[in-house]
């Protein structure tokens, strides 16, 4: 694993010793994930949403970058808060300040997603952007960003799975010198596959408000729910039956997303039936 890509120092600056300074692979992947996803979404905003709002292509892109600033801030807060709540025992006995050290890892995707959604909802309302269309447009890029983030998890040696001496590999961060399943790579491959599928399907699903986002919730939730069986042991339960908080959230998202998809399809069927009569 390569949690630290580059180290500088220690060196003297204006009579003071600085460093060593570490550049972390997880932080780099997180920056690339957020930057690339926001950039691709900004291009779509400039093409599809800007004309609806009377904006030029470049104005639409600039507005999206402004939105991205708030999304990044709130997603980091949400991701760290979710992690701290799920792993509160790490920060007991005077270690509560460690909860702010996000550069050491410990960010939960669902917390970050919730934080990003909160920021986006307020932004869309203030700017009067079409809510459902804006979320449907960004759905595939959430998967792309998450896939890149999982590369960071692998390089950092975190988010590994259960012990497996046949298919596993040793992650130094585990501290046990025992092979663990590389579940980060499993999710990386799954996220990339879903990204291309959803991006292709979006040309059809954008006609139905909330359908693209619901397909994202259903497919990714199912993927994450399944992987969690190999990421956590059964020594701790959440909501009685789930391996982890993330698995519990995944199950809820799958059910809610499926319900929305069925409602959309039912409404479409009713419209087609009435028009045929």
- Between 239 and 78, the higher pLDDT residue: 78
Tell the burial category of 23 from Cβ atoms under 10 Å away from its Cβ (0-12, 13-18, 19+).
exposed
Mean pLDDT value across residues 164-190: 92
What mean pLDDT value characterizes the chain? 89
Query: Which residues pair with residue 22 across a beta bridge?
Result: 7
Confidence of residue 148 (pLDDT cuts 50, 70, 90): very high
Q: Give the three-state DSSP class for 130.
A: coil
Chain centroid to Cα 69, Å, comes to 16
Contact 29, 151 (CB under 8 A): yes
Question: How far is it, in rounded angstroms, from Cα 103 to Cα 151?
Answer: 16
DSSP per position, 153-183: HHHHT-S--SB-TTT-EE-GGGSS--EE--H
Contact 129, 53 (CB under 8 A): yes
pLDDT of residue 234: 56
Q: What is the pLDDT of residues 58-99, one digit of tens each?
A: 999 999 999 999 999 999 899 888 888 777 677 777 667 666
CA-based diameter of the chain, in Å?
Answer: 85
The contacts of residue 49 (CB under 8 Å, 6+ apart) are: 55, 60, 129, 130, 133, 134, 137
Confidence of residue 235 (pLDDT cuts 50, 70, 90): low
Q: Give the three-state DSSP class for 227.
A: helix
CA dihedral 204, 205, 206, 211 (to 10 degrees): 180
Q: Look-up: residue for tokens 């909330």?
A: 210
Q: What is the pLDDT of residues 9-50, one digit of tens each?
A: 777 777 777 777 777 888 899 999 999 999 999 999 999 999
Question: How far is it, in rounded angstroms, from Cα 139 to Cα 142?
Answer: 5
- With a cut of 90, say whether residue 179 has pLDDT above it: yes
Element (H or E) spanning 17, and its range? strand 16-18
């Amino acid at each position: 694993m390569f949690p630290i890509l580059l180290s500088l120092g220690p060196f003297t600056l204006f009579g003071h010793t600085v460093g060593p300074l570490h550049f972390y692979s997880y932080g780099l992947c997180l920056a690339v994930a957020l930057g690339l996803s926001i950039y691709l979404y900004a291009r779509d905003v400039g093409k599809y949403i800007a004309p609806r709002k009377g904006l030029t292509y470049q104005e639409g892109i600039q507005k999206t970058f402004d939105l991205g600033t708030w999304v990044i801030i709130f997603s980091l807060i949400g991701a760290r808060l979710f992690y701290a709540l799920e792993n509160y025992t790490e920060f007991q006995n005077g270690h509560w300040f460690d909860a702010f050290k996000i550069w050491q890892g410990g960010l939960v995707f669902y917390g970050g997603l919730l934080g990003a959604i909160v920021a986006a909802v307020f932004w869309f309302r203030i700017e009067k952007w079409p809510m459902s269309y804006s979320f449907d447009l960004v759905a595939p890029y959430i998967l792309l960003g998450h896939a890149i983030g999982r590369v960071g998890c692998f390089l950092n040696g975190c988010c590994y799975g259960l012990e497996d001496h046949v298919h596993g590999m040793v992650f130094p961060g585990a501290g046990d010198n025992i092979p663990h399943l590389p579940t980060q790579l499993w999710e990386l491959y799954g996220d990339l596959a879903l990204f291309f599928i959803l991006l292709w399907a979006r040309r059809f699903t954008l006609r139905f408000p909330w359908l693209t986002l619901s397909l994202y919730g259903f497919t990714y939730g199912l993927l994450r729910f399944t992987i969690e069986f190999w990421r956590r042991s059964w020594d701790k339960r959440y909501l009685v039956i789930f391996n982890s908080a993330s698995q519990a959230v995944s199950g809820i998202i799958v059910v809610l997303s499926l319900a929305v998809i069925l409602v959309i399809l039912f409404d479409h069927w009713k419209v087609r039936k009435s028009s045929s009569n």
